[in-house]
Structure 1
Amino acid sequence: MEERTAVAPRRGAPSRRGENYGGRSRQERASDRRARIVTAAVHLFGTRDYEDVTVADVCAGAKVSKRYFYEHFTDRENLLLIVHREQNRWLLGQVAGSAPPQAATAEELLRPMMRTLIAKLVEDPERARVIYVNAPRMETRRRGVLREDAQHFAPLVNRFVGDTADKRRLERTLLALIAGISEVIIDWISRDMAEDPDELADHLTWIAGHLLAH
Protein backbone atom coordinates (compact mmCIF):
# COMPACT_ATOMS: atom_id res chain seq x y z
CA MET A 1 0.00 0.00 0.00
CA GLU A 2 1.32 3.39 -0.94
CA GLU A 3 2.32 5.47 2.06
CA ARG A 4 0.63 8.87 2.21
CA THR A 5 2.58 11.85 3.41
CA ALA A 6 0.64 14.31 5.56
CA VAL A 7 0.64 17.79 4.12
CA ALA A 8 1.04 20.54 6.72
CA PRO A 9 -1.60 23.28 6.50
CA ARG A 10 -0.46 26.55 5.05
CA ARG A 11 0.69 29.10 7.57
CA GLY A 12 -2.15 31.39 8.54
CA ALA A 13 -4.82 29.06 7.13
CA PRO A 14 -7.94 28.67 9.27
CA SER A 15 -8.07 25.57 11.47
CA ARG A 16 -11.84 25.28 11.00
CA ARG A 17 -14.23 26.46 8.36
CA GLY A 18 -15.31 30.01 9.20
CA GLU A 19 -12.62 30.48 11.87
CA ASN A 20 -10.97 33.35 9.98
CA TYR A 21 -12.76 35.87 7.85
CA GLY A 22 -11.43 39.10 6.44
CA GLY A 23 -8.14 38.52 8.24
CA ARG A 24 -9.79 38.36 11.68
CA SER A 25 -10.42 35.41 13.96
CA ARG A 26 -13.83 34.36 15.23
CA GLN A 27 -12.95 35.77 18.67
CA GLU A 28 -11.88 39.12 17.20
CA ARG A 29 -15.10 39.43 15.23
CA ALA A 30 -17.17 38.57 18.30
CA SER A 31 -15.28 41.15 20.37
CA ASP A 32 -15.86 43.78 17.69
CA ARG A 33 -19.61 43.03 17.60
CA ARG A 34 -19.85 43.27 21.38
CA ALA A 35 -18.02 46.61 21.36
CA ARG A 36 -20.44 47.92 18.72
CA ILE A 37 -23.43 46.76 20.76
CA VAL A 38 -22.11 48.52 23.86
CA THR A 39 -21.42 51.72 21.91
CA ALA A 40 -24.93 51.69 20.46
CA ALA A 41 -26.42 51.00 23.90
CA VAL A 42 -24.57 53.90 25.52
CA HIS A 43 -25.89 56.22 22.81
CA LEU A 44 -29.47 54.96 23.01
CA PHE A 45 -29.72 54.72 26.81
CA GLY A 46 -27.96 58.07 27.03
CA THR A 47 -30.47 59.84 24.78
CA ARG A 48 -33.75 58.00 25.37
CA ASP A 49 -35.80 56.65 28.26
CA TYR A 50 -35.18 53.02 29.08
CA GLU A 51 -38.65 51.95 27.97
CA ASP A 52 -38.14 53.59 24.56
CA VAL A 53 -35.12 51.45 23.71
CA THR A 54 -35.59 47.98 22.24
CA VAL A 55 -33.18 45.17 21.43
CA ALA A 56 -33.98 45.80 17.77
CA ASP A 57 -32.94 49.45 18.16
CA VAL A 58 -29.62 48.42 19.68
CA CYS A 59 -28.98 45.85 16.96
CA ALA A 60 -29.77 48.39 14.25
CA GLY A 61 -27.39 50.91 15.82
CA ALA A 62 -24.64 48.30 16.17
CA LYS A 63 -25.33 46.82 12.71
CA VAL A 64 -25.61 43.28 14.07
CA SER A 65 -28.38 40.70 14.00
CA LYS A 66 -30.32 39.64 17.10
CA ARG A 67 -28.53 36.32 16.91
CA TYR A 68 -25.24 38.04 17.70
CA PHE A 69 -26.85 40.24 20.36
CA TYR A 70 -27.95 37.14 22.30
CA GLU A 71 -24.44 35.69 22.15
CA HIS A 72 -23.41 38.39 24.64
CA PHE A 73 -26.55 39.55 26.48
CA THR A 74 -29.67 37.76 27.66
CA ASP A 75 -32.09 40.68 27.17
CA ARG A 76 -32.40 44.47 27.27
CA GLU A 77 -32.23 44.71 31.07
CA ASN A 78 -29.11 42.54 31.21
CA LEU A 79 -27.54 44.79 28.56
CA LEU A 80 -28.24 47.94 30.58
CA LEU A 81 -26.91 46.37 33.79
CA ILE A 82 -23.66 45.32 32.12
CA VAL A 83 -23.21 48.61 30.26
CA HIS A 84 -23.91 50.55 33.45
CA ARG A 85 -21.36 48.52 35.42
CA GLU A 86 -18.65 48.89 32.76
CA GLN A 87 -19.16 52.63 32.35
CA ASN A 88 -19.21 53.23 36.10
CA ARG A 89 -16.01 51.28 36.60
CA TRP A 90 -14.36 53.31 33.84
CA LEU A 91 -15.39 56.53 35.56
CA LEU A 92 -14.18 55.31 38.96
CA GLY A 93 -10.81 54.53 37.44
CA GLN A 94 -10.52 57.99 35.93
CA VAL A 95 -11.44 59.72 39.19
CA ALA A 96 -9.24 57.55 41.42
CA GLY A 97 -6.35 57.97 39.00
CA SER A 98 -6.49 61.75 39.41
CA ALA A 99 -5.99 61.58 43.19
CA PRO A 100 -2.61 63.14 44.08
CA PRO A 101 -0.59 60.55 46.04
CA GLN A 102 1.05 63.15 48.27
CA ALA A 103 -2.02 65.20 49.17
CA ALA A 104 -1.54 66.84 52.57
CA THR A 105 -5.18 67.66 53.23
CA ALA A 106 -8.56 66.22 52.35
CA GLU A 107 -9.23 69.24 50.14
CA GLU A 108 -6.01 68.69 48.18
CA LEU A 109 -7.10 65.10 47.62
CA LEU A 110 -10.74 65.80 46.79
CA ARG A 111 -10.51 68.84 44.52
CA PRO A 112 -8.71 67.19 41.56
CA MET A 113 -10.92 64.12 41.93
CA MET A 114 -14.12 66.18 41.79
CA ARG A 115 -12.85 68.24 38.87
CA THR A 116 -11.98 65.05 36.97
CA LEU A 117 -15.38 63.56 37.77
CA ILE A 118 -17.27 66.55 36.39
CA ALA A 119 -14.91 67.02 33.42
CA LYS A 120 -15.39 63.41 32.27
CA LEU A 121 -19.16 63.75 32.51
CA VAL A 122 -19.11 67.00 30.52
CA GLU A 123 -16.96 65.36 27.85
CA ASP A 124 -19.53 62.61 27.34
CA PRO A 125 -23.10 63.55 28.36
CA GLU A 126 -24.50 60.28 27.02
CA ARG A 127 -22.19 58.26 29.23
CA ALA A 128 -23.11 60.56 32.13
CA ARG A 129 -26.79 59.76 31.70
CA VAL A 130 -26.14 56.03 31.48
CA ILE A 131 -24.18 56.11 34.74
CA TYR A 132 -26.38 58.44 36.79
CA VAL A 133 -29.90 58.41 35.33
CA ASN A 134 -31.36 54.96 35.87
CA ALA A 135 -34.67 53.36 34.96
CA PRO A 136 -36.83 52.46 37.98
CA ARG A 137 -35.95 48.77 37.69
CA MET A 138 -32.29 49.75 38.07
CA GLU A 139 -32.82 51.03 41.62
CA THR A 140 -31.42 47.86 43.20
CA ARG A 141 -28.38 48.09 40.95
CA ARG A 142 -27.98 51.79 41.80
CA ARG A 143 -27.89 51.05 45.51
CA GLY A 144 -25.29 48.37 44.95
CA VAL A 145 -23.20 50.80 42.93
CA LEU A 146 -23.29 53.36 45.76
CA ARG A 147 -21.94 50.77 48.20
CA GLU A 148 -19.26 49.66 45.72
CA ASP A 149 -18.18 53.25 45.11
CA ALA A 150 -18.02 53.97 48.84
CA GLN A 151 -15.80 50.93 49.38
CA HIS A 152 -13.64 51.92 46.41
CA PHE A 153 -12.85 55.36 47.81
CA ALA A 154 -12.49 54.35 51.46
CA PRO A 155 -8.71 53.71 51.24
CA LEU A 156 -8.18 57.14 49.62
CA VAL A 157 -9.89 59.13 52.37
CA ASN A 158 -9.13 57.00 55.43
CA ARG A 159 -5.87 58.80 56.18
CA PHE A 160 -7.70 62.12 56.48
CA VAL A 161 -10.43 60.78 58.73
CA GLY A 162 -8.14 59.45 61.43
CA ASP A 163 -8.37 56.26 63.42
CA THR A 164 -11.85 55.38 64.53
CA ALA A 165 -13.09 52.38 66.43
CA ASP A 166 -16.52 52.81 64.88
CA LYS A 167 -15.83 51.36 61.44
CA ARG A 168 -19.52 51.01 60.69
CA ARG A 169 -20.07 54.74 61.22
CA LEU A 170 -17.26 55.51 58.79
CA GLU A 171 -18.74 53.12 56.19
CA ARG A 172 -22.12 54.83 56.51
CA THR A 173 -20.54 58.27 56.28
CA LEU A 174 -18.84 57.33 53.02
CA LEU A 175 -22.08 55.83 51.71
CA ALA A 176 -23.94 59.04 52.58
CA LEU A 177 -21.18 61.05 50.87
CA ILE A 178 -21.30 59.03 47.63
CA ALA A 179 -25.11 59.02 47.60
CA GLY A 180 -25.22 62.78 48.17
CA ILE A 181 -22.70 63.48 45.42
CA SER A 182 -24.69 61.24 43.05
CA GLU A 183 -27.94 63.09 43.76
CA VAL A 184 -26.31 66.47 43.15
CA ILE A 185 -24.90 65.21 39.84
CA ILE A 186 -28.27 63.76 38.81
CA ASP A 187 -29.87 67.14 39.49
CA TRP A 188 -27.15 68.84 37.42
CA ILE A 189 -27.63 66.42 34.53
CA SER A 190 -31.41 66.93 34.64
CA ARG A 191 -30.73 70.64 34.03
CA ASP A 192 -28.80 69.71 30.87
CA MET A 193 -25.45 70.40 32.54
CA ALA A 194 -26.11 74.10 32.05
CA GLU A 195 -24.57 75.20 35.34
CA ASP A 196 -20.86 75.98 35.64
CA PRO A 197 -18.97 72.64 35.98
CA ASP A 198 -16.05 74.24 37.85
CA GLU A 199 -18.45 75.69 40.40
CA LEU A 200 -20.11 72.29 40.76
CA ALA A 201 -16.73 70.61 41.35
CA ASP A 202 -15.89 73.23 44.00
CA HIS A 203 -19.24 72.68 45.72
CA LEU A 204 -18.76 68.92 45.75
CA THR A 205 -15.26 69.36 47.17
CA TRP A 206 -16.65 71.57 49.94
CA ILE A 207 -19.47 69.15 50.74
CA ALA A 208 -17.18 66.12 50.82
CA GLY A 209 -14.47 67.88 52.84
CA HIS A 210 -16.86 69.14 55.50
CA LEU A 211 -18.65 65.82 55.85
CA LEU A 212 -15.37 63.95 56.27
CA ALA A 213 -14.01 66.58 58.65
CA HIS A 214 -16.86 65.99 61.07
Structure 2
Amino acid sequence: MAPPEMRVYGGMTGADRRAERRAQLIEAGLDLLGAAEEDRLTVRQVCRRAGLTPRYFYENFADRDDLVAAVHEHVVQTIAAATLAAVEAAGERPAARIRAGLEQLVRSVAGDPRHGRVLFSVTLTNPLLARRRLESSEFFARLLSGQARRSYGIPDGPRLELIAQFLVGGLAQTLTAWLAGAIAMTEDEIVAEYVTIFTALAGRDPRTSG
Protein backbone atom coordinates (compact mmCIF):
# COMPACT_ATOMS: atom_id res chain seq x y z
CA MET A 1 0.00 0.00 0.00
CA ALA A 2 1.28 3.46 -0.89
CA PRO A 3 2.27 5.71 2.04
CA PRO A 4 -0.28 8.46 2.91
CA GLU A 5 1.76 11.24 1.29
CA MET A 6 1.69 9.37 -2.05
CA ARG A 7 -2.02 8.43 -2.13
CA VAL A 8 -4.06 10.40 -4.64
CA TYR A 9 -7.52 11.76 -3.73
CA GLY A 10 -9.33 14.18 -6.00
CA GLY A 11 -6.25 14.41 -8.19
CA MET A 12 -3.99 15.49 -5.31
CA THR A 13 -1.35 13.53 -3.45
CA GLY A 14 -0.95 13.71 0.30
CA ALA A 15 2.05 16.01 -0.21
CA ASP A 16 -0.07 18.30 -2.40
CA ARG A 17 -2.79 18.48 0.23
CA ARG A 18 -0.28 19.20 2.96
CA ALA A 19 1.25 22.01 0.86
CA GLU A 20 -2.22 23.43 0.28
CA ARG A 21 -3.00 23.38 4.01
CA ARG A 22 0.33 25.07 4.75
CA ALA A 23 -0.50 27.79 2.22
CA GLN A 24 -3.94 28.25 3.83
CA LEU A 25 -2.36 28.65 7.27
CA ILE A 26 0.22 31.15 6.01
CA GLU A 27 -2.52 33.17 4.30
CA ALA A 28 -4.58 33.12 7.50
CA GLY A 29 -1.54 34.24 9.49
CA LEU A 30 -0.93 37.04 7.01
CA ASP A 31 -4.56 38.14 7.31
CA LEU A 32 -4.33 38.27 11.10
CA LEU A 33 -0.88 39.89 11.35
CA GLY A 34 -1.68 42.31 8.57
CA ALA A 35 -4.85 43.54 10.28
CA ALA A 36 -3.73 43.55 13.90
CA GLU A 37 -2.80 46.61 15.92
CA GLU A 38 -0.62 44.35 18.03
CA ASP A 39 0.94 40.92 17.56
CA ARG A 40 -1.54 38.74 19.48
CA LEU A 41 -1.88 36.00 16.93
CA THR A 42 -2.77 32.61 18.41
CA VAL A 43 -2.87 29.09 17.01
CA ARG A 44 -6.62 28.97 17.66
CA GLN A 45 -7.21 32.19 15.69
CA VAL A 46 -5.16 30.97 12.76
CA CYS A 47 -6.93 27.62 12.62
CA ARG A 48 -10.35 29.27 12.77
CA ARG A 49 -9.37 31.69 10.01
CA ALA A 50 -7.98 28.91 7.80
CA GLY A 51 -10.88 26.56 8.51
CA LEU A 52 -8.49 23.84 9.71
CA THR A 53 -8.02 21.94 12.96
CA PRO A 54 -4.96 22.34 15.22
CA ARG A 55 -3.83 18.91 14.03
CA TYR A 56 -3.07 20.40 10.63
CA PHE A 57 -1.40 23.44 12.17
CA TYR A 58 1.09 21.25 14.02
CA GLU A 59 1.56 19.13 10.93
CA ASN A 60 3.22 22.19 9.38
CA PHE A 61 4.51 24.39 12.21
CA ALA A 62 6.16 23.75 15.54
CA ASP A 63 4.45 26.74 17.21
CA ARG A 64 3.06 30.22 16.51
CA ASP A 65 6.54 31.73 16.10
CA ASP A 66 7.29 29.16 13.43
CA LEU A 67 4.20 30.35 11.56
CA VAL A 68 5.10 34.04 12.05
CA ALA A 69 8.52 33.34 10.54
CA ALA A 70 6.89 31.58 7.58
CA VAL A 71 4.49 34.49 7.02
CA HIS A 72 7.34 37.00 7.02
CA GLU A 73 9.40 34.85 4.65
CA HIS A 74 6.38 34.50 2.35
CA VAL A 75 5.97 38.29 2.18
CA VAL A 76 9.68 38.91 1.54
CA GLN A 77 9.94 36.27 -1.17
CA THR A 78 6.70 37.41 -2.86
CA ILE A 79 7.87 41.02 -3.05
CA ALA A 80 11.42 40.10 -4.05
CA ALA A 81 10.27 37.82 -6.86
CA ALA A 82 7.86 40.41 -8.27
CA THR A 83 10.45 43.18 -8.02
CA LEU A 84 13.20 41.19 -9.72
CA ALA A 85 10.81 40.14 -12.48
CA ALA A 86 9.89 43.79 -13.09
CA VAL A 87 13.56 44.79 -13.20
CA GLU A 88 14.47 42.05 -15.68
CA ALA A 89 11.51 42.97 -17.91
CA ALA A 90 12.59 46.62 -18.04
CA GLY A 91 15.57 46.04 -20.35
CA GLU A 92 19.16 47.15 -19.89
CA ARG A 93 18.85 50.91 -19.32
CA PRO A 94 19.80 51.59 -15.67
CA ALA A 95 17.16 54.29 -15.15
CA ALA A 96 14.41 52.05 -16.52
CA ARG A 97 15.49 49.15 -14.30
CA ILE A 98 15.59 51.34 -11.22
CA ARG A 99 12.16 52.81 -11.89
CA ALA A 100 10.62 49.41 -12.67
CA GLY A 101 11.98 47.89 -9.47
CA LEU A 102 10.89 50.76 -7.26
CA GLU A 103 7.46 50.96 -8.87
CA GLN A 104 6.89 47.27 -8.26
CA LEU A 105 8.18 47.43 -4.68
CA VAL A 106 5.99 50.38 -3.74
CA ARG A 107 3.01 48.87 -5.57
CA SER A 108 3.48 45.56 -3.71
CA VAL A 109 3.39 47.31 -0.36
CA ALA A 110 0.61 49.76 -1.20
CA GLY A 111 -1.49 47.20 -3.07
CA ASP A 112 -1.59 44.76 -0.17
CA PRO A 113 -1.50 46.64 3.16
CA ARG A 114 -0.89 43.35 4.95
CA HIS A 115 2.57 43.21 3.39
CA GLY A 116 3.40 46.69 4.59
CA ARG A 117 2.29 45.95 8.13
CA VAL A 118 4.25 42.70 8.39
CA LEU A 119 7.39 44.33 7.00
CA PHE A 120 7.24 47.77 8.60
CA SER A 121 4.58 48.22 11.30
CA VAL A 122 6.08 49.39 14.60
CA THR A 123 3.04 48.06 16.49
CA LEU A 124 4.03 44.47 15.71
CA THR A 125 6.73 44.17 18.35
CA ASN A 126 7.27 40.41 18.34
CA PRO A 127 11.04 39.87 18.87
CA LEU A 128 11.03 37.26 16.12
CA LEU A 129 9.57 39.77 13.66
CA ALA A 130 12.15 42.36 14.70
CA ARG A 131 14.95 39.87 13.99
CA ARG A 132 13.37 38.82 10.71
CA ARG A 133 13.06 42.45 9.63
CA LEU A 134 16.77 42.92 10.16
CA GLU A 135 17.47 39.82 8.10
CA SER A 136 15.14 40.95 5.31
CA SER A 137 16.84 44.36 5.23
CA GLU A 138 20.15 42.58 4.67
CA PHE A 139 18.52 40.45 1.96
CA PHE A 140 17.15 43.48 0.09
CA ALA A 141 20.48 45.27 0.48
CA ARG A 142 22.21 42.33 -1.24
CA LEU A 143 19.66 42.44 -4.07
CA LEU A 144 20.21 46.18 -4.46
CA SER A 145 23.98 45.72 -4.44
CA GLY A 146 23.70 43.22 -7.27
CA GLN A 147 21.64 45.63 -9.35
CA ALA A 148 24.03 48.50 -8.63
CA ARG A 149 27.00 46.41 -9.78
CA ARG A 150 25.22 45.40 -12.97
CA SER A 151 23.69 48.76 -13.86
CA TYR A 152 26.34 51.20 -12.69
CA GLY A 153 29.48 49.12 -12.45
CA ILE A 154 30.00 49.97 -8.78
CA PRO A 155 32.56 47.48 -7.47
CA ASP A 156 32.13 45.50 -4.27
CA GLY A 157 33.44 47.37 -1.27
CA PRO A 158 32.48 49.75 1.53
CA ARG A 159 30.97 52.35 -0.84
CA LEU A 160 28.56 49.85 -2.39
CA GLU A 161 27.65 48.50 1.04
CA LEU A 162 27.02 52.02 2.35
CA ILE A 163 24.80 52.95 -0.61
CA ALA A 164 22.78 49.72 -0.38
CA GLN A 165 22.24 49.95 3.37
CA PHE A 166 21.38 53.65 3.21
CA LEU A 167 18.86 53.19 0.43
CA VAL A 168 17.16 50.09 1.85
CA GLY A 169 16.96 51.54 5.37
CA GLY A 170 15.77 54.89 4.06
CA LEU A 171 13.13 53.34 1.83
CA ALA A 172 11.84 51.18 4.69
CA GLN A 173 11.48 54.22 6.94
CA THR A 174 9.89 56.23 4.13
CA LEU A 175 7.32 53.53 3.41
CA THR A 176 6.60 53.14 7.13
CA ALA A 177 5.85 56.86 7.43
CA TRP A 178 3.94 56.91 4.14
CA LEU A 179 1.71 53.97 5.09
CA ALA A 180 1.02 55.70 8.42
CA GLY A 181 -0.13 58.81 6.56
CA ALA A 182 2.79 60.99 7.65
CA ILE A 183 3.95 61.65 4.05
CA ALA A 184 1.29 63.17 1.81
CA MET A 185 2.54 61.86 -1.54
CA THR A 186 1.20 59.50 -4.20
CA GLU A 187 2.82 56.21 -5.19
CA ASP A 188 4.17 57.84 -8.35
CA GLU A 189 5.63 60.75 -6.40
CA ILE A 190 7.35 58.42 -3.92
CA VAL A 191 8.86 56.42 -6.80
CA ALA A 192 10.00 59.55 -8.67
CA GLU A 193 11.75 60.98 -5.63
CA TYR A 194 13.46 57.71 -4.83
CA VAL A 195 14.61 57.20 -8.41
CA THR A 196 16.25 60.64 -8.20
CA ILE A 197 17.94 59.78 -4.90
CA PHE A 198 19.15 56.37 -6.09
CA THR A 199 20.46 57.71 -9.38
CA ALA A 200 22.28 60.58 -7.67
CA LEU A 201 24.00 58.25 -5.20
CA ALA A 202 24.79 55.46 -7.65
CA GLY A 203 26.10 57.80 -10.32
CA ARG A 204 28.21 59.94 -8.02
CA ASP A 205 31.93 59.71 -8.61
CA PRO A 206 33.62 59.90 -5.18
CA ARG A 207 36.81 61.19 -6.80
CA THR A 208 35.07 64.44 -7.77
CA SER A 209 33.34 64.99 -4.43
CA GLY A 210 34.41 67.94 -2.38
TM-score, scaled relative to structure 2: 0.83
Aligned counterpart for 2:108 among listed residues 112, 120, 125: 120
Aligned counterpart for 1:188 among listed residues 174, 178, 181: 178
Percent of aligned pairs sharing the same letter: 25
TM-score, scaled relative to structure 1: 0.81
Aligned counterpart for 1:133 among listed residues 121, 125, 131: 121
Structure 2 segments unaligned to the other structure (5+ residues): 205-210
Cα deviation 1:114-155 (Å, max 9, x = unaligned): 111122222212223223326331222211111111112222
The answer to whether the aligner puts 1:177 opposite 2:167 as a matched pair is yes
Partner of 1:15: 2
RMSD: 2.4
Helix, strand or coil: the match of 2:39?
A: helix
Contact 2:72 2:132 in 1 (8 A): no
Aligned counterpart for 1:65 among listed residues 43, 50, 53: 53
Q: CA shift at 1:51, angstroms?
A: 2.6
Q: CA shift at 1:21, angstroms?
A: 4.0
- For residues 108 and 21 of structure 1, do their structure 2 counterparts lie closer, same or farther at Cα, with a shift above 3 Å needed? closer
Which amino acid is 2:25 matched to? I
**Aligned pairs for 1:49-198 within 5 A:** 49-99=37-87, 100-103=90-93, 105=94, 107-133=95-121, 135-136=124-125, 137=127, 138-164=129-155, 167-191=157-181, 195-198=185-188
- For residues 193 and 125 of structure 1, do their structure 2 counterparts lie closer, same or farther at Cα, with a shift above 3 Å needed? farther
**Bigger radius of gyration, 1 or 2?**
1
Cα deviation 1:147-195 (Å, max 9, x = unaligned): 111112222111444454x712311221111111111111111229974
Distance in 2 separating the partners of 1:86 and 1:170? 27
- The aligned length equals 198
Distance in 1 separating the partners of 2:139 and 2:104? 19
